[in-house]
Amino acid sequence: MGGHDDKRAQILETRRVFSGKFLEIDLVDLSLPNGARAALEIIRHPGAAAVAPLRPDGTVVLIRQYREAAGGYILEVPAGKLDPGEEPETCARREVIEEVGLAAGTLHPLGPILTTPGFTDERIWLYAATDLTPASQALEEDEVIEILEMPLSEALERIPAGEITDSKTIATLLRVDQELRAGRLRI
């Protein structure tokens, strides 16, 4: 490596311009590691967890959810934002129950991802859930969800086919496949 790798930007001024239900927007004036000055809009997000529930036969439980910002329904893994002070694993367990009515006996961490680091600090922690047992689904009022189950291999084929375009879902499914192939995840 080398160059600017060890340097960080120097924040000169931060001004909060919006505070919503869970998002905030800051205008940040900073001096970049190369000495240039920049004014950035940064969306502050509390973070989230995303989970691929896996059945012993290799079936993955996905949801088809209405997302206005995406222009309609998309295929996703169950996911949700972290509540204040909530650990990602706690959020992951809660979301699997709420969205698909399954409790995860075991959660396998797959690592975090940055969703769009050009303008937000959102980080999503990815998990695989195994040893699933039935639980009471508890959708929130604004969640329009249909549960879909399919072999993991089919879900993976839907990525290059353009049928799964959600980044957290793509990352989670690819990480599940990597971990299964490496023998670090058993279902």
DSSP line for 37-73? EEEEEEEE---EEEEEEB-TTSEEEEEEEEEGGGTEE
Contact 131, 51 (CB under 8 A): no
For the question of residue 141 being annotated catalytic, the response is yes
The tokens for 78 are: 């169950």
Buried b (16+ CB within 10 A) or exposed e, 159-168: beeeebebeb
Of 68, 86, 140, 141, which is the active-site residue? 141
Radius of gyration over every alpha carbon of the chain, rounded to an integer in angstroms: 19
Contact 150, 79 (CB under 8 A): no
- 3 state SS of 187: coil
Say how many Å lie between the first and final Cα of the chain, rounded.
Answer: 39
Active site residues: 141
